[in-house]
Amino acid sequence: MAVYSELLAFKQEILRQASARAAVMIPAARREVERTDLIALRTEAARLERRADFWHRRLTESRGE
């Protein structure tokens, strides 16, 4: 679980930095980043969050909680 937490925090930090950088780009560049890179980063962060949730549930079930 710690691995997913760390990876998710990493992706979220990259996403924050990329979003901040995109906000000051010229409109054409910002649109390109928003349509490609930010979508990919959000998708990857969501995937990591789902995996962390899955393993948290498995751990809880294995403990009989």
Give helix then strand counts, H and E, for the chain.
3, 0
Average per-residue pLDDT for the chain: 95
pLDDT at 52 over 80: yes
CA distance 15 to 58: 28
The answer for 26, left when phi > 0, alpha when psi is -120 to 50, beta otherwise, is: beta
Higher pLDDT, 2 or 43: 43
pLDDT of 14 reads: 97
Confidence of residue 49 (pLDDT cuts 50, 70, 90): very high
Q: Taking residues 24-50, what's their average pLDDT?
A: 97
Q: Taking residues 15-22, what's their average pLDDT?
A: 98
